[in-house]
Amino acid sequence: MSDLIKIAVDAMGGDGSPKKIIDAIIHNKKSNNKVFYKLFGDKNEIAKIIDSKINKDFYEIVHTSNIVKSTDSPLEGAKRGKDTSMWLAIESVKNKETDIIISAGNTGALLVISKLNLKMIENIDKPALSALWPNKKGMSVVLDLGANIECSSKNLIDFSIMGASLFKSLFPKENPNVALLNIGTEEFKGNDVIKETYRMLNEIKLLDFKFSGYIEGNQLMNGDVNVIVSDGFTGNIALKTAEGTANFITSELKKSMTSSFLGKVSSILNYSNLKKFKQRLDPRLYNGAIFIGLDSPVVKSHGATDYIGFSNSLDVCYRIVNGDLIEKIKHNI
């Protein structure tokens, strides 16, 4: 089993854990026999769900009854001790017992505990929180989504390199195409930091990605670029706006299709197209934010997602390790 990719799983983080987490592993295992799951949490609760469902050659349970609570501040989460399921999972990556860690638990605590345990990749000053977004042509990597409120031009260049490396790891057959999120596409628009970043990225000759300049918020889903770079303040607002817009569209569409007889008839006639539309905007398909810049990858699943969403995050973990993300970043930096 030494050739298996080893995922450290915080089995106690997020809503409905550990059942949701174990159900996700059982679901994920059906399509992937190349993963070993190292589970951290209450062994009594985990074992009764997973026993007989998965061959014991493919998982291990490390018992702890101590957990980071969703209501903890980042500092409170870190102070809960080194025997929480989250801390132990991160520590296993630090000690090279596993290749990557995933948690659906407290985001702030996960970032703090990760930074306490894991070193930064050499020459990178700040880690970034990245995620996958759908676009008209496929998928985009977007970063930073909230880890760094203020960024220098060097930070944004680092994010560009890391984002391109992440995209290439997840989609090895495609080529990264990077753009900076800005208030306009003209060269003279934006603050001093983003204009300096623009100038420097145009001057660097050894980039392993195409740099396409600026992109505006209304172009994020066009698919003309597939790596979108921003500071954490702007990126987080863009993320929340996109999520809110998607929820508004789906809820209003559902309301219009069920509020009248004609609407109900129309929904029946267009069932196949509506199903495709719903699946395209299903947030579970894009679940799994990636904390990059540290010397081991950390994946954050949405705490409220179901087992399908968490299973998709496990798939992201596999693709990150299989795509050799950390070595790509080190080489490109």
Residue spans per domain, the chain = 1-124+293-333, 130-285
Report the CATH fold assignment for 130-285. Isopropylmalate Dehydrogenase (3.40.718)
CATH code, 1-124+293-333 = 3.40.718.10
pLDDT surpasses 80 at 235: yes
Strands 59-63 and 100-103: unpaired
Mean pLDDT calculated for residue range 153-178:
95
Which of 118-132, 143-157, 225-239, 276-290 shows the lowest mean pLDDT across its residues? 276-290
pLDDT category of residue 276 using cuts at 50, 70 and 90: low
pLDDT at 284: 74
Which residues, at least 6 apart from 34, have a Cβ–Cβ distance to it below 8 Å?
3, 4, 5, 318, 322
Q: How confident is the model at residue 45 (pLDDT cuts 50, 70, 90)?
A: very high
The stretch 12-40 carries a mean pLDDT of 94
Tell me the two tokens of residue 153: 């031009």
Residue 129 has pLDDT above 80, yes or no: yes
User: Does residue 304 sit in helix, strand or coil?
Assistant: coil
Which residues are 179's β-sheet partners? 228
The CA-CA-CA angle for residues 326, 329, 333, to 5°, reads 145
Mean pLDDT, rounded, of the chain = 89
pLDDT single digits (tens) 277-309: 566 666 677 777 899 999 999 999 988 889 999
Taking the CA atoms of 113, 114, 118 and 120 in sequence, report the sign of the dihedral they define: negative
The pLDDT of 35-55, averaged and rounded, is 92
Q: Which amino acid is at 254?
A: K
Separation of alpha carbons 169 and 226, rounded Å: 13
Q: Of 162 and 333, which is predicted with more confidence?
A: 162
What's the predicted TM-score (pTM) here?
0.87
Q: Span 227-231, mean pLDDT?
A: 96
pLDDT of the residue at 332: 84
The reply to whether domains 1-124+293-333 and 130-285 share a CATH topology is yes
Candidate from 72-76, 142-146, 276-280, 315-319 with smallest mean pLDDT: 276-280
In this predicted structure, what is the pLDDT of residue 249?
A: 75
